[in-house]
Chains A and B, each alone.
Chain A
Amino acid sequence: MKEGRPRSFYVLAAFFAAYTLFLYGPMIAIYVLSFQGPQGGLTFPMNGVSTFWIAKLFQGTGIVDLGAAFRRSLLLGVIVMIVTVVLSVAAGMAFRRKFKAQSILFYSAIASLIVPSIITSLGISLEFRIVDDLIKAHWNENFETSMGLLTSGLGAHLTWTLPFGLLIMFAIFNRFDPRLEEAARDLGATPWQTFRHVVLPIILPSVIGIGLFGFTLSWDELARSSQAIGAVNTLPLDLQGLTTTVTNPDIYALGTVISAVSFTVITLALGTIHVLNKRQAAKGSDAGQGLV
Chain B
Amino acid sequence: MDASEDILHQASPDLVRGSETKRAAKAARLSPSFISWLQAGPMMLVFLAFFLIPLVFVVIVSFWDYNEYQLLPAFSGRGYTDTFEGCIAQLPELCTIGKTYLMTLKLCFMVWAITLFIGFWVAYFLAFHVKSKTWQMGLSLLCTIPFWTSNVIRMIAWIPLLGRNGLVNSGLVKTGLINHPLEWLLFSEFSVVLALVHLFTFFMVVPIFNSMVRIDKSLIEAAYDAGATGLQTLVNVIIPLAKPGIVIGSIFVITIVMGDFITIGVMGGQQIAAAGKIIETRVNALQFPAAAANAVILLAITFLIITMMSRIVDIKKEL
Chain A interface residues toward B at CB < 8 A:
5, 8-9, 12-13, 15-16, 19-20, 22-27, 29-30, 33, 42-44, 86-88, 90-91, 93-95, 97, 99-106, 108-112, 114-120, 122-127, 129-130, 133, 152, 155-156, 158-159, 162, 166-167, 170, 212-213, 216-217, 219-220, 222-223, 226-227, 236, 239-240, 243-244, 251-252, 255, 258-259, 262-263, 265-266, 270
A44-B167, A99-B37, A119-B55 known; 9 new pairs, CB 8 Å cut-off, are A19-B118, A30-B153, A44-B166, A108-B52, A115-B259, A116-B255, A122-B283, A158-B46, A239-B152
B241 to chain A minimum Cβ distance, whole angstroms, is 18
Within 8 Å CB of A126, what residues of B?
A: 54, 57-58, 61, 288, 292
Most buried by A among B37, B46, B266, B288: B46
Residues 107 to 148 of chain B near chain A (Cβ within 8 Å):
118, 121-122, 124-126, 129, 139, 141-143, 145-146, 148
Per a CB cutoff under 8 Å, which of B32, B155, B299, B319 touches A115?
B299
Q: Which of B16-24, B75-83, B157-165 is near enough to bind chain A?
A: B157-165
The answer to whether B166 touches A43 (Cβ under 8 A) is: yes
Within 8 Å CB of A259, what residues of B?
A: 149-150, 153
Count A-B pairs with CB separation below 8 Å: 259
Whether A97 touches B32, Cβ cut-off 8 Å, given contacts A27-B154, A119-B295, is yes
The verdict on B33 contacting chain A, using a C-beta distance below 8 Å, is: yes
Per a CB cutoff under 8 Å, which of B43, B53, B156, B256 touches A87?
B43
Within 8 Å CB of A116, what residues of B?
A: 255-256, 258-260, 276, 298-299, 302
Q: Chain B, 23-41, contact with A by CB distance < 8 Å: what is the 0/1 string? A: 0000000001101111110
Task: List 21 A-B residue pairs with CB atoms under 8 Å apart, sorted by A's residue number.
Answer: A15-B125, A16-B126, A23-B143, A26-B198, A30-B157, A43-B166, A88-B43, A91-B42, A95-B40, A97-B32, A114-B255, A115-B51, A115-B255, A116-B255, A116-B260, A118-B280, A119-B295, A123-B295, A158-B50, A170-B319, A217-B148
Within 8 Å CB of B256, what residues of A?
A: 116
B41 to chain A minimum Cβ distance, whole angstroms, is 9
Within 8 Å CB of A236, what residues of B?
A: 150-152
Residues 48 to 91 of chain B near chain A (Cβ within 8 Å):
48-58, 61, 71
Within 8 Å CB of A133, what residues of B?
A: 71
**In the complex, A87 Cα to B46 Cα: how many Å?**
10
A177 to chain B minimum Cβ distance, whole angstroms, is 19
On chain B, the number of residues with a Cβ less than 8 Å from chain A's Cβ atoms is: 87
The answer to whether B283 touches A162 (Cβ under 8 A) is: no
The answer to whether A100 touches B33 (Cβ under 8 A) is: yes
B300 to chain A minimum Cβ distance, whole angstroms, is 11
Whether A156 touches B198, Cβ cut-off 8 Å, given contacts A9-B129, A116-B298, is no
Within 8 Å CB of A15, what residues of B?
A: 121-122, 125
Interface of B is mostly: helix
The answer to whether A122 touches B295 (Cβ under 8 A) is: yes
A22 to chain B minimum Cβ distance, whole angstroms, is 7
The list of the 5 closest CB pairs from A to B, nearest first, reads A116-B259, A123-B54, A155-B50, A26-B157, A99-B36
**In the complex, A190 Cα to B133 Cα: how many Å?**
36
Within 8 Å CB of B143, what residues of A?
A: 19-20, 23
**In the complex, A2 Cα to B175 Cα: how many Å?**
45
The verdict on B13 contacting chain A, using a C-beta distance below 8 Å, is: no
The verdict on B252 contacting chain A, using a C-beta distance below 8 Å, is: yes
Per a CB cutoff under 8 Å, which of B124, B161, B266 touches A243?
B266
Within 8 Å CB of A95, what residues of B?
A: 40
Whether A220 touches B121, Cβ cut-off 8 Å, given contacts A23-B198, A44-B160, A119-B58, is no
**In the complex, A81 Cα to B58 Cα: how many Å?**
28
**In the complex, A99 Cα to B35 Cα: how many Å?**
10
The answer to whether A105 touches B47 (Cβ under 8 A) is: yes
B278 to chain A minimum Cβ distance, whole angstroms, is 10
**In the complex, A223 Cα to B146 Cα: how many Å?**
18
The answer to whether B153 touches A97 (Cβ under 8 A) is: no
B312 to chain A minimum Cβ distance, whole angstroms, is 16
**In the complex, A289 Cα to B145 Cα: how many Å?**
38
The answer to whether A122 touches B58 (Cβ under 8 A) is: yes
The verdict on B316 contacting chain A, using a C-beta distance below 8 Å, is: yes
**In the complex, A258 Cα to B156 Cα: how many Å?**
13
Within 8 Å CB of B146, what residues of A?
A: 23-24, 27
The verdict on B270 contacting chain A, using a C-beta distance below 8 Å, is: yes
A265 to chain B minimum Cβ distance, whole angstroms, is 8
The answer to whether B125 touches A12 (Cβ under 8 A) is: yes
Per a CB cutoff under 8 Å, which of A5, A99, A158, A222 touches B262?
A222
**In the complex, A123 Cα to B49 Cα: how many Å?**
10
Whether A130 touches B57, Cβ cut-off 8 Å, given contacts A15-B122, A19-B118, A26-B161, is yes
The answer to whether A27 touches B157 (Cβ under 8 A) is: yes
The verdict on B242 contacting chain A, using a C-beta distance below 8 Å, is: no
The answer to whether B40 touches A123 (Cβ under 8 A) is: no
**In the complex, A27 Cα to B161 Cα: how many Å?**
11
The answer to whether B148 touches A262 (Cβ under 8 A) is: yes
The answer to whether A216 touches B292 (Cβ under 8 A) is: no
The verdict on B192 contacting chain A, using a C-beta distance below 8 Å, is: no
The answer to whether A262 touches B32 (Cβ under 8 A) is: no
